[in-house]
C-alpha cells in the first residue's frame, strides 16, 4: 500500500506564449474524477474565448487512474504530453487544464507537444508541490494531570497532533506513520506510566 504521494499545493494558473499563441495552464488538487471534471468545466467558463481546453489528470495515491484529452488539437499533441509531465514528476491527485488562444501561427505537431508539455511543467514549478502522507489515527485518552505534558511532548514529537478535546479525560487524536505504530505505543506507555489509552480510529492523509 502506498504511504505517500505528491500533489500540487493548491489551485494556480500560469501562462506562457509561443509564437503568439497563449497557453494558460491551470492546476488544482482533486480527489476524484467528478472533482477533476468540475475544474475542467470551470476553466471552460473562465476562458470562453480560448479555442482549446486540453486536460490531463492523475488520481489515486498510487496514480492508478489517468485521463487526458486533446480537445480538438491533433491527436496526441496536447493531452498526452500534459499527462506525461504529471507522470514524470510523480504528481497525482491533480488535474491540469491548458486553455489555448490561437495566435495565427501554426506550430506543427512537434511544436504543440512541446508547448503543452512546457505549459504544465512551468505551472508545476510556479504552483509548487507537497507530499501527503498516510497516517494511522490514534485516539489517545489520558487523565488531566498528564495532559499538559503529553500535549507538549506530542507537539515536539515526529507524530502529528491532529486534534485535541477535553471532556471527562483529555483526548488527543494523533496521526502515526504506519511503520512507527509499535514505537509510538511504547513511547506513549513510557511517557505516561502506562496510564494513557490508545485506540485505532481509522486513517488519514496529511
Q: How far apart are CA 6 and CA 93, in angstroms?
A: 8
Say which CATH number the domain at 166 has: 3.30.70.240
Domain with 191, as residue range(s), is 134-205
Place of cell 512507527: 180
pLDDT for residue 188: 97
Residues 51 and 83 in one domain: yes
Write down which residue in 77, 97, 127 finishes a domain.
Answer: 127
pLDDT for 127-138, tens place per residue? 999 999 999 999
Cβ neighbour number for residue 19 with a 10 Å cutoff:
11
Instruction: Kindly state the DSSP code that residue 180 receives in the 8-state scheme.
Output: G
Q: Give the count of domains, the chain.
A: 2
Name the grid cell of 203. Answer: 486513517
pLDDT for 27-86, tens place per residue? 999 999 999 999 999 999 999 999 999 999 999 999 999 999 999 999 999 999 999 999
What is the pTM assigned to this prediction? 0.87
Predicted confidence band of residue 2 (pLDDT cuts 50, 70, 90) = confident
Say which CATH number the domain at 19 has: 3.30.230.30
Amino acid at each position: 500500500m502506498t504511504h505517500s504521494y505528491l500533489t500540487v499545493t493548491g489551485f494556480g494558473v500560469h501562462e506562457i506564449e509561443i509564437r503568439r499563441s497563449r497557453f494558460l495552464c491551470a492546476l488544482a488538487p482533486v480527489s476524484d474524477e467528478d472533482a477533476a471534471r468540475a475544474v475542467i468545466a470551470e476553466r471552460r467558463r473562465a476562458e470562453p474565448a480560448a479555442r482549446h481546453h486540453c486536460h490531463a489528470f492523475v488520481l489515486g495515491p498510487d496514480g492508478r487512474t489517468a485521463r487526458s484529452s486533446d480537445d480538438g488539437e491533433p491527436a496526441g499533441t496536447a493531452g498526452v504530453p500534459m499527462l506525461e509531465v504529471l507522470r514524470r514528476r510523480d504528481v497525482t491527485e491533480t488535474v491540469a487544464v491548458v486553455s489555448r488562444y490561437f495566435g495565427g501561427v501554426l506550430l506543427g505537431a512537434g511544436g504543440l507537444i512541446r508547448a503543452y508539455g512546457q505549459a504544465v511543467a512551468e505551472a508545476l514549478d510556479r504552483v509548487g508541490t507537497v507530499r501527503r502522507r498516510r497516517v494511522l489515527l490514534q485516539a489517545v485518552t489520558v487523565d488531566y494531570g498528564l495532559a499538559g505534558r503529553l500535549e507538549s511532548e506530542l507537539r515536539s514529537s515526529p507524530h502529528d497532533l491532529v486534534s485535541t478535546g477535553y471532556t471527562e479525560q483529555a483526548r488527543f487524536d494523533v496521526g502515526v506513520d504506519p511503520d512507527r505504530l509499535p514505537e509510538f505505543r511504547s513511547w506513549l506507555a513510557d511517557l505516561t506510566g502506562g496510564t494513557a489509552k490508545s485506540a485505532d480510529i481509522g486513517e488519514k492523509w496529511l
